[in-house]
Amino acid sequence: MATTEDASTISIPVAEYEKLLASITNLKRDNLKLSDELAALIKKLFGKSSERLDPDQLALFAGALDAAKEEVEKTKAKPRGKRSPRKGHGRPHFPEHLPREVIELDVPESERSCSDCGQEMTSFGEEVTERGHIVPAKLIVKRYVRKKYSCCNACSVKTPTLPGSLLDKGKYEPSVYAYLATAKYGDHIPLHRLSGIFKRHGMKLPTSTMWDLLSQLDGVVAQPILDQMRSELLTSRYINADETPVTVRLEQGRGSRKGYIWTYLWKKKVLFDFTMTRQRDGPRTFLGAWKGTFQIDGFSGYDEVSRTNKLVRAGCWSHARRKVLQAVERGNKAALPLLLLINRLFRIDRALRARRDRLELTESAYLELRSAVRSRRSQHVLNQIQESVNELWNQRSTLPKSALGKALTYLENQREPLAVCVADAELELHNKDAERALRHVVIGRKNWMVFGSQRGGEVGARLFSLIASCKALGINPEAYLVDVIKAIDTTPASQIASLTPWAWAERQES
C-alpha cells in the first residue's frame, strides 16, 4: 500500500526552489503594481481631485505624527497683518453699471384718504425696491437705407458709406460673428445646440453656415492677430507650456484619431496651437528660434526643442507633489516626510505672496524679496528633499514600479529642472498656469466631443487663444471681437499690435 509522505520530508532541487522563490517575488511585485493602478483608477473615477492632504489622514502614520501636526499647524497659520473687513450677511446689491428701468407705482387717487379720520393723505417719501430682470435674446435685422445723390449733369453719384463688417457685402453684423465665437469657444456650446437656440428665436441658421462664419472670422481676424500675439509672446524671458489630447474626425468617413492642443503662455498672454500628433515637431515649430526658460512637465516631447534651442528647462513641483501624494494615499508611510518637505516649499512661497499683499510691494521689490528668501530657506529645503530621495531609494522595500518608486524616479529625472524653479525668482514653483489654461479646452471637450477635421482643430486653437486671453484679462470677449472686426480693415499691418487682447484691455482701462 502506498504511503503519503509528510510535506516537510519532500526534497526540492535547489535550482527549482530558487525558481519558485523568484516567481513568488515577481508575483508579489505584479500584485503591488496592479493594486496601485487599481487604486489610482478608483480615485480618478470617484475620488476628489484636490491635492491637499487631509490632516486626519496624517494620524495614520504614527512615526511621523508629531512632525505632521507641526507642519499642518504652520500651514493653517494665517500671516500677521491687517484683518480683512468682515462681509455683511445681507443680500448683495445689483452692480451699479447695470442699466435701470424706473417703474413708478402710485396709490390710486380714490384710495388716498385716511380710513380712520377721512383726511386726504400727502406724500412724504419713496420706498425703492430692485428686482433682477432678464431680457431674452432676440434677433433683429438691421436695414441700412442709403440715400443717393447726383448732380444735375449726372457727372457723379454719392451714397453714404456702410458701417464696417467682416466681409464686403456680408450678410451678418460683427455681433453675430462675435456671439458665435464666444458661445462655441468660450461657453462651449456645440454648433448643433446653437442652431436649436436660433431656431427657438425664429431663425434658421444651419451648422454649416455657422462654421463658414467662424472660418471667415479666423481667416480675416484671428490669423493676423495670432501671428502678432505669438511674436510678442516669444519676446518674453520664460514661457509655460502643456498639452492635452483631442479627438479629430478624419475626412471621408475614415473614423477618427487623436490630435493635440498645446498651450503656451506668459502671465496673461495665452496662446493655443493644434497638431495631429504629440511629437516634438509641435513645440519646435511654434517656438522657432526662441531662447529662454521653458517651464514644463517631464514630457519627453519637449526634449528636442530644449536641446536644439539650448533652453533652460524648468520643472513643476506640483507634478512631483502629486506623485508623492499618490504614494502616501496608497499607505506608504515612508513617503510622508518627503511630502511634507515639498509642501514646505509651497508654504514659503505662500508666505511671501501674503507679505507682498500686506506691504503692497512693487513687482521688482517682491522678486528681490523672493530671490533672497528662496536662496536661503527654499534652497535648504531642496537639499533636504534630495537627501530624502536618496535615502528612500536605498531602502530595499522601495520597488521601482510602485507608486513611491515612480515618484522617486520622477524627482530624480527632474532634479535639475526642479532646482531651476527654486533658483529663479521670476518662476513659480509649478506649471499650474498652463494646466488652468488647458482646462478651458478640457471643459469644452466634454461638450463638443470632437473636432470635425484638422482644419477645425486649427481654427479652434486660434479662436480659443483669443477667447482665453480675454478671460485671463477680465474683458468681455464679445465686445472685444466686435471692436476688432470693425477695425481690422482700416488697421495697417504695422499697427496690428493695437488689436491684441492685452492692447485692447489697456485702452479700456485708460
| Residue 156 pLDDT class (50, 70, 90 cuts) | confident
Q: Which residue has the cell 493644434?
A: 274
Mean pLDDT calculated for residue range 291-295 = 95
Q: What is the pLDDT of residue 38?
A: 79
What Cα–Cα distance (Å) separates residue 380 from each residue in 325, 341, 375, 376, 377? 21, 10, 8, 7, 5
CB 112 within 8 A of CB 120: yes
Mean pLDDT calculated for residue range 460-467 = 95
Mean pLDDT calculated for residue range 211-220 = 94
User: Is 126 contained in some domain?
Assistant: no
pLDDT at residue 412 greater than cutoff 60: yes
User: Is 339 contained in some domain?
Assistant: yes
CB 319 within 8 A of CB 302: no
Q: Which residue has the cell 417703474?
A: 103
Mean pLDDT calculated for residue range 215-240 = 94
Residue 363 CB burial class (10 angstroms; 0-12, 13-18, ≥19): exposed
Convert 40-73 into a string of H (helix), E (strand) and C (coil): HHHHHHHCCCCCCCCHHHHCCCHHHHHHHHHHHH
Of residues 345 and 62, which shows the higher confidence score?
345
User: Is 405 contained in some domain?
Assistant: yes
Which tens digit of pLDDT belongs to each residue from 327-353?
A: 888 878 888 999 999 999 999 999 999
Mean pLDDT check: name the lowest of 8-22, 63-77, 435-449.
Answer: 63-77
CB 394 within 8 A of CB 408: no
Mean pLDDT check: name the lowest of 4-8, 23-27, 268-272.
Answer: 4-8
User: Is 467 contained in some domain?
Assistant: no
Q: What is the pLDDT of residue 80?
A: 54
pLDDT at residue 136 greater than cutoff 70: yes
For the chain, how many structural domains are there in total? Answer: 1
SS3 content of the chain, % helix, strand, coil (to 5): 55, 10, 35
CB 472 within 8 A of CB 439: no
- How far is 444 from 208, CA to CA, in rounded Å? 20
* Percent above pLDDT 90 for the chain: 53
| C-alpha cell read off for 125 | 417719501
Mean pLDDT calculated for residue range 356-366 = 93
**Centroid of chain to Cα 69:** 33
Neighbours of 211 (CB within 10 A): 18
User: Is 395 contained in some domain?
Assistant: yes
CB 267 within 8 A of CB 469: no
| C-alpha cell read off for 507 | 485702452
Nearest by Cα to 104 from 120, 121, 128, 125? 128
Give the residues across from 158 on adjacent strands: 149
Angle between helices 379-394 and 415-423 (to 10 degrees): 160
* Domain that includes residue 334, residue range: 246-257+278-450
User: Is 4 contained in some domain?
Assistant: no
- How far is 214 from 485, CA to CA, in rounded Å? 12
User: Is 322 contained in some domain?
Assistant: yes
- How far is 137 from 134, CA to CA, in rounded Å? 9
Give the residues across from 314 on adjacent strands: 295
Nearest by Cα to 263 from 442, 56, 449? 442
Q: Rounded to two decimals, what is the model's pTM?
A: 0.80
Convert 153-217 into a string of H (helix), E (strand) and C (coil): CCCCEECCCCCCCCCCCCCCCHHHHHHHHHHHHCCCCCHHHHHHHHHHCCCCCCHHHHHHHHHHH
DSSP 254-295: --EEEEEEEEEEETTEEEEEEESS-STHHHHHHHTT--SEEE
Q: What is the pLDDT of residue 72?
A: 46
Nearest by Cα to 328 from 19, 15, 10, 71? 71
How long, in residues, is the chain? 510
Element (H, E) at 417: helix 415-423
Question: How close are the terminal C-alpha atoms of the chain, in Å?
Answer: 106
Phi, psi at 130, each rounded to 5°: -115, 135
The SS3 assignment for 480 reads helix
User: Is 104 contained in some domain?
Assistant: no
| Residue 2 pLDDT class (50, 70, 90 cuts) | very low
- How far is 270 from 468, CA to CA, in rounded Å? 7
- How far is 320 from 339, CA to CA, in rounded Å? 9
Q: Please give the mean pLDDT across all residues of the chain.
A: 86
Q: What is the pLDDT of residue 150?
A: 87
